[in-house]
Every structure is written in structure tokens, then in C-alpha cells.
Amino acid sequence: MLKKSLLGIALWIPALIMIVLLVSTAILLPRPPDDSLYAIWILLTIGAGICLVLFLSIWGFTKLYQWKKSYFYLALGSLIIIPRIIWIIWIPTHAVSDFYYYQVIASYIADNNNWTTLYNQGILFYAPYFTHILNFSNILSIVYNIFGNNYLVGQLFNSVLTLAGTFLLFKVVKNWFPLGVAVGSSLIFALWPAYFMYSTLLATEPLFIFLFVLALFFYQQVEQRAPSFIWSLLLVLTLIGLNMIRPLAVVILIAFVITSFLLRPNRKETLKRYAIVVALFLIFLAGQSTINKLVYHIPTANSTVGYNVFVGANEKTGGQWNEADTKTFWKLYNDNKTNTAKVDSTLMQKGLDRYKTMAEDGKLTDHVIAKMKNYSNEGYGYDWNIYSDAPYIWYHSAIILTICNVFMYIMLGLNFLAVVLALYLRRIADIYLFVLLQIGFTVATLLVEVQGRYHVPLLIGYVVIAAWGCWQVYRLVLGKTKKKPKKETPMSGEDMGLELWNETKEPSQ
């Protein structure tokens, strides 16, 4: 009885935290300056239009899949690729900020320059410290070698990654949930306005999202098959790749392990499945500096956590980049290029001192709220297009930003509804992994530097939970969904959601 009570608490607490985060995000999202009745009607009209488009798209694509799968994939691929190509050609942009260094470094490497030469000539700039720039540029240089050394090729590469990530997302969700949830998740992700604009730029997020969904796929294989060294190895290699692009893989790994331990009754079997994954991942983290030296043959940083904590603790900017902190970084970096660990530890201490001061002055809560507001900003797609020299969309900024924010409000509402329904129907186990991922990404990011684009990993959880919630509402309307009995025993990882699938899938699906 005690074990069941503890399990219930372990399932309910993340769900309640998720509800708090959803409400907080909704409160902190920008509101229209005009609150007249006319403006409200405009927002309601846009919201109704978005809902209608999503409903008709999900219904149509579901019917198309049931009729002919090849046509479904062709239509979904066209929906992802064609609008993005049109956008890229219609609204040309230039590489800026980190995107600029991805482009420059990848171009030089594609032209057969070596890393040591680029380092000695100062072309790498701050990339040896922020090694994700080196890693992504290295991958991009391979693409440039094959398809041409051109910024447009990089943009198209990201569009193809978005296509691959969406197809893989469909497969992953369909392995866990009914067809309608898989179709809904894929279409919501493909049509997400802010990410649509952002995915046409030379950013790392499309690759991160692809690897993230690939990790979910390998997690499924680890869970649904007998313990296998091969599947565990593939999972850890994907997590390592994720971490090299953006250091958030530990959040994903923790969510995987917690979900498996809670929902799989045989703890020893779970230990067998994940011991090697955790061990190899920790070995990678410990040896990351050595790996960097073997790959790049130049001094690189092993960690940038200190810098991110330092910037994230800046009260004046709400945890965002600022020129003063950049000067502090450059002074430390120039003085310690061969000892980046000292740079990181010094910046970490400065960041912790900032947090300590805010806590003593009673300003920590206000700082966290400011960071949450910046983190949740749905204008990142628009902002980075403008910043990347695409002034044309500035003339339509009001409608573009309104559509982005209304879309986000709808997703937050659907997620809120889904989590409440999951608690009411005692089906929180069905979406538990995604709830943990949402909380993990949010908490981890709020501890460091924040930007609107940093919440892109949340999109996967948002779309899956929203689609699942819509499906449950549909089932409730038809009277086909009932509460699970209170004497329910924990499901195994292999059975997660299988009961739901068996109840809801029709033969044609």
C-alpha cells in the first residue's frame, strides 16, 4: 500500500508542477496593447482560424494515411519542405551571431583548411570556448563538401532535418499512441508558426530536435525489447551527439531512467537496460576535453556552464546576453586560453555570488519571473529573421507576432486540458515521460542564460501532450474513455500506453 501511495505521489507531483508552469507561461506571454472589443474579436478570429486549420488538417491527413500511406508521407513532406523553401527564397536572410560563425567556420573547413590554422589566425573567435559551435560547424562542413559551400545549402539542410525529425516524430508517437495522436503531433509541429520561421535559419535547433526524437525512438527500442547492448549503445551515442550540440542530454537521460524505474515493475531489469547507458554517458562527460583535443587539435573548453550561470544571473537583463558580461568573459578568456577550466570556475562563482546577493535582497523571485518571461517568448522566430536582415516581415510584425502568440496560447490551453484529463482519468502514466521532459528542460534552462529560442525543445512535449489531450476529449465525447480502476498496478515500460492503444485503435488504423 505504501509503495502504491509513493508511486501515486511520484506521478502526481510532476503533473501538478507542469500545470503551474503552463499557467505561468500563459500569464507571462505578451498581451496585445489594444484591449478593445475589436482587438479581442480579432484574436478570437485568429484563434478560431488556427483551430479550424489544425482540425481539418489532422482529420484530412488521418484519412489520407488510412487510405494510402505513401500519399500521406508525400503530403506531409510537401507541407514541411515547400513552404520553407518558398520562405527562404521570398525572404532571404544573412547569417548573424552564432549563425555567422557556423557559416564562416564550416565554409573554411569545407575548403580544406584545418582547425589549427583557423585557431592561429583568430577565425574561430570564441568558438573554442563554446564548443557546440565547432561541433555543428564540423557537421555543416560535411554537408557543404557534398552539396556546395553556400549559406542556402545550410538553410535547406535545416529544412531537411525538420522533415526527417517530423517523420521520425510521427513514427515514435504512433508506436506509443493511436494514429490520431501521431498525426496531430506531427502536424502541430510542422505548422508551429514561430518554429517555422526559425527553422529556415542556420540554427542548431533542427539538428537538436532530430537527435532528440531519435533518442526517443531508441528509448522505445530499449524499453520494448529484451535488454540489448546494441540498442543501449545507440541510445547513448545519440545522447552524446545531443550533448555536443546543446548540453541538455542529461535532462533527457534522467527523464528516461525515472520513467522506466517508476513504470516498470522489475527494477533489476531496468538497471540492466540503463546501467551501460549511464556509465558510457558519464565517461563521455569526464573525457569530453580529451575528445575535443583529438578531434580539433586546439585548446577547447570542457564546459560552458559557468558562463551560462554568470549571464543567467544578470538581474538587469533578466538572464540574457549583455555587453558588460561579454567584456568580463573576454578578459578572463584572453588571460586563460589554455586553462578554460579556470574561466568556467571563475564565471560560475561570479554567477553564484549574483544569485546569493539577489536572495539576500529578496529579489530572486522577481528575477526568476523575468527569466521565465524571456524564456517563454514566442517571438524568437520573428526576432531572428529580423536580426538576420529580413526587414520585409517587419512591415507585417503585428499580425505575425499575434499569430505566434495565439498559437502558443492554444497549445498551452490544450496542454493544461490534457494534464488535467490525465489526472482525472488516472492516465498520467501515458504522458508521464513528456511531462518530466517539459519540467526538466524548463528548470535546467532557468538556472542559466535564457532566450526565447531556448524553449524550442519544449515543442516536442507540447505537441504530443496537446494531441493526446485532443484525442481524449474526442473519446470522452463518444463515451469510449473511462477512468482506470484505483487498484491499477504500475505498467511496464513495454506496456506504457498499450492499454490505451488497444482501447482506441480500430482495425484500419
User: Within 13 Å of residue 246, how many CA atoms lie on the same side as its CB?
Assistant: 23
Instruction: State the pLDDT at residue 478.
Output: 81
178 in a structural domain: yes
What are 151-185's pLDDT values in tens digits? 999 999 999 999 999 999 999 999 999 999 999 99
pLDDT band at 493 (very low <50, low <70, confident <90, very high): very low
Q: Helix, strand, coil shares of the chain as percentages rounded to 5?
A: 75, 0, 25
Mean pLDDT throughout 298-319? 90
Q: How far apart are CA 321 and CA 323, in angstroms?
A: 7
Helices 458-478 and 151-176: crossing angle, nearest 10°? Answer: 40
pLDDT of 397 strictly over 90:
no
Q: How far apart are CA 58 and CA 502, in angstroms?
A: 21
Q: Which long-range contacts (CB under 8 A, 24 or more apart) does 301-305 make?
A: 301/128, 301/129, 301/130, 301/131, 301/340, 301/341, 301/343, 301/344, 302/340, 302/341, 302/344, 303/341, 303/344, 304/129, 304/130, 304/131, 304/247, 304/344, 305/247, 305/344, 305/348, 305/448
Tell me the pTM.
0.91
What are 183-212's pLDDT values in tens digits? 999 999 999 999 999 999 999 999 999 999
What are 57-98's pLDDT values in tens digits? 999 999 999 999 999 999 999 999 999 999 999 988 999 989
pLDDT of 479 strictly over 90:
no
Q: How far apart are CA 166 and CA 160, in angstroms?
A: 10
Mean pLDDT throughout 443-471? 94
509 in a structural domain: no
Mean pLDDT of the chain: 88
Mean pLDDT throughout 349-354? 93
pLDDT band at 509 (very low <50, low <70, confident <90, very high): very low
Identity of residue 406: V
37 in a structural domain: no
- Closest alpha carbon to 91 in 391, 395, 379, 401: 391
Spatial neighbors of 407 by CB under 8 A, at least 6 apart, are: 50, 192, 193, 194, 378
pLDDT of 501 strictly over 70:
no
Q: How far apart are CA 472 and CA 42, in angstroms?
A: 29
The alpha carbon dihedral of 165, 171, 175, 181 has a sign of: positive
390 in a structural domain: yes
Three-state DSSP state, 449: coil
Grid coordinates belonging to 439: 519540467
45 in a structural domain: no
50 in a structural domain: no
Grid coordinates belonging to 358: 539577489
How many percent of the chain have pLDDT more than 70?
A: 92
Grid coordinates belonging to 167: 517523420
407 in a structural domain: yes
- Closest alpha carbon to 436 in 457, 452, 454: 457
pLDDT of 102 strictly over 90:
yes
pLDDT of 4 strictly over 90:
no
Identity of residue 117: T
Domain that holds residue 167: 2-29+55-504
Count the domains in the chain.
1
Spatial neighbors of 444 by CB under 8 A, at least 6 apart, are: 248, 251
Residue 315 Cα distances to 51, 318, 363, 431, angstroms: 38, 5, 9, 35
Instruction: State the pLDDT at residue 482.
Output: 65
E runs forming strands in 98-179? none
411 in a structural domain: yes
Geometric angle at alpha carbon 368, from 401 and 251, rounded to 5° = 85
Mean pLDDT throughout 357-384? 92
Q: How far apart are CA 418 and CA 476, in angstroms?
A: 12
How many CB atoms neighbour CB 457 within 10 A? Answer: 24
Grid coordinates belonging to 283: 565517461
Tell me which of 110-119, 149-158, 253-262, 394-403 is least confident.
394-403
Instruction: State the pLDDT at residue 163.
Output: 97
